[in-house]
């Protein structure tokens, strides 16, 4: 047992280091690419000001795309884990629809969960406004749209489910799903997105384990496309926002029915993690991992800004 504990903590330390390096590399690459884009625009257009160029580059998504890809490759090399696209079971249309409905219900429930916290921070002179804007901002350029609906979901699923979750599965499958979902939420560094992405991450993890990594990517892409299309159409037609709210509430009701019907499957999934499995305790008592969680939690809370 002691040897297993040492090996597990070694894995968790490597994971913590990989996530810290990922965050550093991602920020460095994005900054470098953005600077190159700004310099190129200023060179091509003589009458363009720095602020104008920076605004265009901020919405381009090119730096984010390259940073995501480079970051995922670095984490894979550090963890010595390549993502598996093995198809365990063929996913049908009905299953995709069910998980899409569950995902949309989580979007609404996540917002309701945040309401009490939003009231408290508002009372203290702080706001979720910037975090909400960052989380729901619609792509202005085609390159940023591609990042949102293709690059980001693919890179995030390969990172969180293909590498992180896969590496942790030897300590328990449900343990791997839950921990990778928590880290997925923290990596977004946004207080508004954190509870939603964490809960949705559980769905993605379940899909990746039961069906394939491609299934998780597909659902992630569908989610991002939905957000983009609602935002784009909502800016032109106000009724879209009303229809979206009605649809989300329908998804909540439908999810209750779905979860009740699938309660035996859910119980079986929850029982996979043996109660005597000490991996959870080892994970949260690994100092470097604990520091990494606190660090990303700090960045998440930092997205709450004063009026």
Q: What share of the chain is helix, strand, coil (3-state, %, to 5)?
A: 80, 0, 20
Burial (CB < 10 A; 0-12, 13-18, 19+), residue 254, is middle
Among 31-40, 79-88, 297-306, the range scoring the smallest mean pLDDT is 79-88
Stretch 63-90: mean pLDDT, rounded? 92
Could you read off the pLDDT of 212-265 as tens digits, one per residue? Answer: 999 999 999 999 999 999 999 998 999 999 999 999 999 999 999 999 988 887
What is the pLDDT at residue 269? 65
Among 54-58, 97-101, 172-176, 276-280, the range of highest mean pLDDT: 97-101
Specify the higher pLDDT residue, 2 or 71: 71
pLDDT of 188 reads 95
- pTM of the predicted model, to two decimals? 0.93
Instruction: Among 22-31, 55-64, 98-107, 261-270, name the one with the lowest average pLDDT.
Output: 261-270
């Amino acid at each position: 047992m002691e040897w297993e504990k040492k090996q597990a903590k070694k894995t968790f330390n490597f994971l913590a280091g990989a996530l810290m390096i990922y965050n550093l590399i991602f920020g460095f690459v994005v900054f470098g690419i953005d600077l190159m884009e700004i310099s190129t625009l200023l060179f091509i257009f003589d009458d363009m000001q720095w602020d104008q160029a920076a605004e265009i580059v901020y919405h381009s998504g090119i730096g984010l795309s390259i940073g995501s890809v480079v970051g995922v490759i670095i984490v894979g090399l550090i963890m010595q884990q390549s993502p598996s696209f093995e198809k365990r079971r063929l996913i049908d249309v009905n299953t995709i629809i069910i998980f899409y409905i569950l995902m949309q219900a989580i979007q609404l429930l996540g917002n309701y969960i945040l309401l009490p916290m939003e009231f408290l921070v508002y009372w203290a002179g702080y706001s979720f406004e910037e975090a909400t804007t960052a989380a729901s901002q619609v792509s202005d350029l085609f390159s940023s749209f591609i990042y949102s609906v293709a690059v980001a979901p693919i890179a995030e699923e390969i990172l969180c489910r293909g590498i992180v979750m896969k590496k942790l599965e030897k300590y328990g499958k449900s343990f791997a799903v839950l921990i990778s979902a928590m880290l997925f939420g923290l990596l977004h560094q946004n207080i508004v997105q954190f509870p939603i992405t964490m809960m949705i991450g559980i769905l993605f993890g379940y899909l990746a384990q039961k069906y394939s990594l491609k299934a998780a990517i597909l659902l992630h892409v569908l989610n991002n496309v939905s957000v983009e299309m609602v935002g784009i159409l909502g800016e032109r037609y106000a009724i879209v926002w009303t229809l979206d709210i009605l649809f989300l509430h329908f998804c909540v009701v439908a999810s209750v029915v779905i979860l009740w019907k699938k309660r035996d499957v859910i119980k079986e999934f929850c029982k996979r993690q043996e109660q005597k499995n000490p991996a959870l305790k080892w994970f949260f008592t690994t100092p470097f991992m604990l520091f990494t969680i606190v660090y990303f939690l700090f960045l998440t809370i930092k997205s709450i800004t004063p009026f």
